[in-house]
């Protein structure tokens, strides 16, 4: 049997060693982690315009992603009233480099509605221009979010990419994995002919309106309703700024 002071010494020394090793490793790998995370986020944004990149998105290397981001994408940050935020104000508010990328939508959604900041990415390829915006909402188990690409009429959807924190694989997770389902969004319109805001509705049992509805996912009604709600609310946030763009 060991005595108490031995136990205390043993535990103290051991936890100190473990703490030092882990913190050294964590700080040492931080630059690589940050780079990986940045590329992961960039890829998520680009996946909304995957069909318009002129290259195979799946096999794209990290450097290609960064190159597209540096050369073909303009980042803008807008507030809920539709005003553009400039970089200095962003930096003074605590965003690292003042770019749209430094916005964490999860944190923005926790702020009061009027204070939220919205990132926007304008992607240009040849003569075509796409506006990529972020939306975030709730699925069945946890948060869901997505990047929505609009064509330059700011009405027609050019592509979507959804992701989720904990939806069920094979059911709710289909919003991310099912390419055929996501492709239904392409060509759908946010506004009706008469200019009223309609957004895109995920209809259980099959789409009834060819312009504003997509089919639901069987077994994932609540996640699909989450997508509907997220689209309706999330896209509406951008409308004040888009109004100014249209003029």
Partner 1 sequence: MAEVKVAEKKEAAFQFGKNEKKLLVDPLNNDNPVTVQVLGICSALAVTTLMNKALVMAIAVTAVLALSNLITSLLRNGIPKQVRMIVQLVIIAALVTVVELALKALDYNIYKELSVFIGLIITNCIIMGRLEAFAMANSPWRAFLDGIGNGLGYGIILIIVAFIRELFGKGTVFGLKIIGATPDYLINTTESWMFGWYENNNLMVLFPSAMFVIGVLIWVHRGIINKSLVDVS
Interface residues toward partner 1, by CB under 8 A? 1-2, 6-7, 10-11, 14-15, 18, 21-22, 25-26, 29, 32-33, 36-37, 39-40, 168-171, 219
How far apart are alpha carbons 66 and 169 in whole angstroms? 30
Sequential DSSP letters for 92-105:
HTT-SSSSGGG--H
Toward partner 1, which CB reaches closer, 15 or 125? 15
Residue 164 vs 189, nearer CB to partner 1: 164
Between CA 188 and CA 119 the distance in angstroms is: 22
Least distance from partner 1 to the Cβ atom of residue 170, Å: 3
Residue 57 and residue 68 in contact, taking contact as beta carbons nearer than 8 Å:
no
**Judged by CB, which is closer to partner 1: 37, or 97?**
37
Looking at beta carbons only, is 36 or 124 nearer to partner 1? 36
Please, which residue, 153 or 170, has the CB nearer to partner 1?
170
Q: How far is the CB of 33 from partner 1 (least distance, A)?
A: 5
Nearest distance from C-beta of residue 148 to partner 1, angstroms: 21
Q: What one-character DSSP code corresponds to residue 119?
A: E
- Report whether 187 contacts 240 (CB < 8 A): no
Q: Tell the smallest beta-carbon distance from residue 144 to partner 1 (Å).
A: 15
Task: Please list, in sequence order, all residues whose beta carbon lies within 8 angstroms of the beta carbon of residue 192, skipping any fewer than 6 positions away.
Answer: 198, 211, 212
- What distance in Å separates the CA atoms of residue 220 and residue 175, rounded to the nearest whole number? 9
Q: Tell me how far, at minimum, the Cβ of 69 lies from partner 1, in Å.
A: 16
Q: Which residue, 187 or 219, has its beta carbon nearer to partner 1?
A: 219
**Of 198, 216, 219, the residue nearest 206 (C-alpha):** 216
DSSP 8-state code for residue 168: P
Nearest-angstrom CA–CA distance, 245 and 238: 11
Name the DSSP class of 191.
B
Least separation in angstroms between residue 225's CB and partner 1 is 20
């Amino acid at each position: 049997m060991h005595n108490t002071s031995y136990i205390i010494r043993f535990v103290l020394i051991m936890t100190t060693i473990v703490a030092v090793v882990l913190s050294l490793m964590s700080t040492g790998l931080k630059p690589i982690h940050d780079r990986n995370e940045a590329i992961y986020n960039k890829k998520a944004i680009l996946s909304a315009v995957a069909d318009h990149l002129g290259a195979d998105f799946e096999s794209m290397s990290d450097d290609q992603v960064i190159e597209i981001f540096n050369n073909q994408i303009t980042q803008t940050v807008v507030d809920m009233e539709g005003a553009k935020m400039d970089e200095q104000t962003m930096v003074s508010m605590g965003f690292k480099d003042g770019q749209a990328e430094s916005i964490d939508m999860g944190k923005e959604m926790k702020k009061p509605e009027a204070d939220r900041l919205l990132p926007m990415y304008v992607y240009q390829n040849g003569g075509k221009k796409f506006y990529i915006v972020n939306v975030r909402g709730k699925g069945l188990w946890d948060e869901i979010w997505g990047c929505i690409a609009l064509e330059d009429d700011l009405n027609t959807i050019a592509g979507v990419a959804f992701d989720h924190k904990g939806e069920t694989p094979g059911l709710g997770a289909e919003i991310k994995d099912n390419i055929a389902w996501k492709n239904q969004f392409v060509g759908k319109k946010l506004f009706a002919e008469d200019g009223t805001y309609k957004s895109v509705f995920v209809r259980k049992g099959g789409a009834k309106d060819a312009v504003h509805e997509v089919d639901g996912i069987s077994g994932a009604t609540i996640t699909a309703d989450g997508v509907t709600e997220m689209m309706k609310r999330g896209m509406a946030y951008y409308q004040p700024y888009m109004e100014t763009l249209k003029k």
